[in-house]
Amino acid sequence: MLKLSLIVWLLCSLTWRTTPTSCRQTRPAPSIQELLATQLQSYMDTKARPCENFYQYACGNWQLHQQAPQDNKEEQPAVGQQQHQQQPQRDQREAQQDSQLQPSDTLAVLDYSLNRQLELLLRRGNAAGNESSAEEQQLLPELHEKMRSYYRACKRLKPYNLKKYLQLLPPSNGNHWPLLSRSWQPEKFNWLATIGRLRLYGLNGVLLKEQVLPRWDDAGSYSLYLDKPGLVETAPMGEGAMIELLLDIGQTKRVANELARQVDSFERQLHRLQELEDDEGAKEMQLGYLAEDLPQLQWLNYMQQLLGHDLDLRSTLIIQNVPYLRALDKLLQRQKPETLCNYIMLKLLAFLKQQGPAEISRVECIASLRRAMPLAASWLIGQRFHDPSNEAIVSDLFSRLKLRFGQLLAENRLQLQPLIVQVLREKLQAMRLQLGFVQLNDSDQVENYYERVQLSAHNFYGNQLALLRLRVEQNHELLLRENNCSLSDLSYLMELWQSSSSSPFYVKPRNLVMLPYGLLQLPVWHRNMSELQQHAMLGFALAHELLHGFDSSGIEYDSVGNIMGPSEEISSNSRFAQSLNCMQQQLATGSRSLNEKLADYEALRVVYETFFGADMLVDRKEPRDPLLPQFSQRQRFFISFAQFFCGKLQSLSLQASQHLEHAVDELRVLQTLANYEEFSREFGCERRTKMQAKQKCKVW
């Protein structure tokens, strides 16, 4: 329930800025700290035992409170009526037409509320020429208009028809998709030219992966990288997902079943190629030389589609996993062209569907807009919802986390050479926190980025493809810049899903922690939140990203983002190896990668010690918070930390993958806390309880 009133409060506070009367009638709002204290308690299942399953204890009732505002009145429990009535009538009506998708975790709750605010913003500007819109028109009116066009075209989609994409994007050489046309000519099909052409519209990681990335030896300039697709990218889609796509484009069940079976068998063979080792390593070569070196693959066909016909054969690229590429060619020789073409088509459909709205609703069309125009969305969220007075608080928090981790490095538990410790501390020193993908005063960058693209309020598919193409082109144009990019320019990341999410992340080649403007919103952040809660939530998130600079892959990068870090010296240290091994043991129970574990374990320690001080022997009689007198401060810290990861429990009958995803978050909390002696001390957990790991792992 409290969640609901928080969201209502958010919407009111937003509306309040422009229409001063609409929220006045409600009684004086409780303070943020009161709201959050009530919320914290409401999520807890105090019948669960904290030393047995802390996640259940902290998050057991979370789901009961996620009746987001779109719920119908009838479905509200009686106790909810009161708050519900406060919601403006207009909102309620809209809410009922709106999404049935329920946010499934804290970040999803945050993004949902952000998307609703953005939607109001774009729609208001639409109602021609009022004070608010006049004010916002001053800043990049054309960009606003483009975003609005995308949004409107999305809302008009009825129905969302995947087949349209295939009509707009035939495979290369004047050929057609085999499923859609009798005039499909297998002999004219060229897989490299086809994926080259589709790469231009954002498809990547299908058979091979092509990216523009900062150079490994000079992160200030870019190179073209060719590689095999990642493990996740080749993970078989499964016949079910393929059949669904095929039915979406109007195939019969019989055809869909038959085709999915063929493609599935190919996909499994392809996935097995992942096992090939890269015993040749990365090589840099000229395009012309590549064509001679791996003649079985017609590279020039691919590159011509992507870079245009005036290819410079002397331009270089960095190629990795050559043994995979050779084996790929052999595998593809054995396939019928039709199977291969259908595989590419299915991957294309899955990709585009993911970029589009999950359903035609206001919120989902905004979510799709954020995926299609990530740079513009980041800028707009920063412009409209970012409170600059947060900046000092957040950057102070980040500095103190750095300070504490710097002390840990100096203590040198691993007994590394002094020179290596020095290098690590310099890297930490140089690590930056960046808010948003674009500086708010740099509207030129955003405007220039979107300048050449034209969008129409009546052509959703065309808009989407134009924007996808724009970002691939923009990325490839980075290759033409002469060693002249600013290290805060993150536009090369626009093809990543992170660019449209509110989740923070660490950018290794830039040595910076990227914090999207969107994250500094309730329920994750408010400047009036207690410092304790700021540390337990945002502080943990920042510390986790900071630690990625010092995980087993982060140590390969130096302070300016070149792959010249002291990784060999550190990896050969036996204590470091032991620590990783300790975590490896716990991975056996099925959770994320080793580096995620490292970042979680170490970040909790760093942020806890940043807040409470590193001296564990001090008198612990901190005064209790009058709002939550039943918990000590330290207990409350762990509860807030755990609640950042509260999520929806999927019943087993629902999609298995989602269930797994959730199990991961639950496991994350349980393992991270069980690994930390301060946690068990604070809750008085005995040795044999589940929340006490047998072995506690520590790296730095």
Ligand X SMILES: *[C@@H]1O[C@H](CO)[C@@H](O)[C@H](O)[C@H]1NC(C)=O
Q: Closest approach of Cβ 544 to Zn ion, in Å?
A: 6
Site stretch for ligand X (CB under 6 A), options 125-133, 363-371, 417-425, 647-655: 125-133
Residue 161 interacting entry, from ligand X, Zn ion, none, C-beta within 5 to 8 Å by type: none
Residue 291 interacting entry, from Zn ion, ligand X, none, C-beta within 5 to 8 Å by type: none
Q: What is the distance between the alpha carbons of residues 583 and 587, in angstroms, rounded to a whole number?
A: 6
Q: What is the distance between the alpha carbons of residues 645 and 59, in angstroms, rounded to a whole number?
A: 8
- The C-alpha torsion from 468 through 474 and 478 to 480, rounded to 10°, is 120
For residues 248 and 263, the answer to whether their CB atoms sit within 8 Å is: no
Residue 442 interacting entry, from ligand X, Zn ion, none, C-beta within 5 to 8 Å by type: ligand X
**Rule CB under 6 A: is residue 126 a binding residue for ligand X?**
no
Instruction: Give the C-alpha distances (Å, rounded to integers) separating 161 from 240, 245, 462.
Output: 19, 11, 13
For residues 579-608, which are near Zn ion according to CB under 5 A?
596, 599
Residue closer to ligand X, measured from CB, 7 or 366: 7
Residue 131 interacting entry, from Zn ion, ligand X, none, C-beta within 5 to 8 Å by type: ligand X
Beta bridge partners of 227: 209
Residue 82 interacting entry, from ligand X, Zn ion, none, C-beta within 5 to 8 Å by type: none
**Rule CB under 6 A: is residue 25 a binding residue for ligand X?**
no
Beta bridge partners of 223: 213
Site stretch for ligand X (CB under 6 A), options 126-134, 316-324, 372-380, 402-410: 126-134
Query: Comparing C-alpha atoms, which of 679, 631, 406, 386 is closest to residue 530?
Result: 631
Write the single-letter amino acid at 25. Answer: Q
For residues 473-492, which are near ligand X according to CB under 6 A?
482, 484
**Rule CB under 6 A: is residue 448 a binding residue for ligand X?**
no
Instruction: Give the C-alpha distances (Å, rounded to integers) separating 499 from 14, 216, 357, 432, 592.
Output: 24, 22, 17, 18, 21
Strands lying side by side in the sheet with 505-507 = 432-435, 512-515, 505-507
**Contact with ligand X (CB under 6 A) among 439, 553, 573, 633:** 439
Residue 129 interacting entry, from Zn ion, ligand X, none, C-beta within 5 to 8 Å by type: ligand X
Site stretch for ligand X (CB under 6 A), options 83-91, 397-405, 435-443, 637-645: 435-443
**Rule CB under 6 A: is residue 661 a binding residue for ligand X?**
no
Q: Closest approach of Cβ 28 to ligand X, in Å?
A: 10
Instruction: Give the C-alpha distances (Å, rounded to integers) separating 407 from 116, 433, 543, 600.
Output: 43, 19, 14, 18
Running DSSP on this structure, what letter comes out for residue 509? G
Residue closer to ligand X, measured from CB, 28 or 684: 28
**Rule CB under 6 A: is residue 441 a binding residue for ligand X?**
yes
**Contact with ligand X (CB under 6 A) among 31, 85, 584, 657:** 31
Residue 358 interacting entry, from ligand X, Zn ion, none, C-beta within 5 to 8 Å by type: none
Q: Closest approach of Cβ 441 to ligand X, in Å?
A: 4
Site stretch for ligand X (CB under 6 A), options 76-84, 127-135, 362-370, 647-655: 127-135
Q: Closest approach of Cβ 561 to ligand X, in Å?
A: 19
Query: Comparing C-alpha atoms, which of 106, 99, 49 is closest to residue 640?
Result: 106
The answer for residues whose C-beta is within 8 angstroms of residue 351's C-beta and 6 or more apart is 202, 203
Q: Closest approach of Cβ 698 to Zn ion, in Å?
A: 18
Residue 32 interacting entry, from ligand X, Zn ion, none, C-beta within 5 to 8 Å by type: ligand X
DSSP 3-state of 12: helix
Q: Closest approach of Cβ 381 to ligand X, in Å?
A: 18
Residue closer to ligand X, measured from CB, 442 or 661: 442
Q: Closest approach of Cβ 551 to Zn ion, in Å?
A: 8
Residue 130 interacting entry, from Zn ion, ligand X, none, C-beta within 5 to 8 Å by type: ligand X
**Rule CB under 6 A: is residue 528 a binding residue for ligand X?**
yes
Compute how many other C-beta atoms are within 10 angstroms of the C-beta atom of residue 256: 21
Query: Comparing C-alpha atoms, which of 68, 130, 26, 111 is closest to residue 385?
Result: 111
Residue closer to ligand X, measured from CB, 310 or 482: 482
Running DSSP on this structure, what letter comes out for residue 86? H
**Rule CB under 6 A: is residue 442 a binding residue for ligand X?**
yes
**Contact with ligand X (CB under 6 A) among 18, 22, 32, 233:** 32
Tell me the torsion sign for CA atoms 349, 350, 356, 361. Answer: positive
The answer for residues whose C-beta is within 8 angstroms of residue 546's C-beta and 6 or more apart is 398, 401, 402, 405, 428, 431, 506, 513, 603, 606
Residue closer to Zn ion, measured from CB, 427 or 508: 508
Tell me the torsion sign for CA atoms 110, 112, 113, 117. Answer: positive
Write the single-letter amino acid at 168. Answer: L
Q: Closest approach of Cβ 389 to ligand X, in Å?
A: 10
Running DSSP on this structure, what letter comes out for residue 416? -
Q: Closest approach of Cβ 595 to Zn ion, in Å?
A: 7
Site stretch for ligand X (CB under 6 A), options 38-46, 322-330, 437-445, 673-681: 437-445
Site stretch for ligand X (CB under 6 A), options 99-107, 124-132, 179-187, 311-319: 124-132
Q: How many residues bind Zn ion (CB under 5 A)?
A: 2
Q: What are phi and psi of 551, to 5 degrees?
A: -90, -175
The answer for residues whose C-beta is within 8 angstroms of residue 575's C-beta and 6 or more apart is 413, 414, 415
For residues 131-160, which are near ligand X according to CB under 6 A?
131
Q: Closest approach of Cβ 17 to ligand X, in Å?
A: 13
Q: Closest approach of Cβ 184 to ligand X, in Å?
A: 45
Q: Closest approach of Cβ 596 to Zn ion, in Å?
A: 5
Strands lying side by side in the sheet with 209-215 = 209-215, 218-227, 316-319, 283-286
Q: Which residues bind ligand X (CB under 6 A)?
A: 31-32, 129-131, 439, 441-442, 482, 484, 528
Q: Which residues bind Zn ion (CB under 5 A)?
A: 596, 599
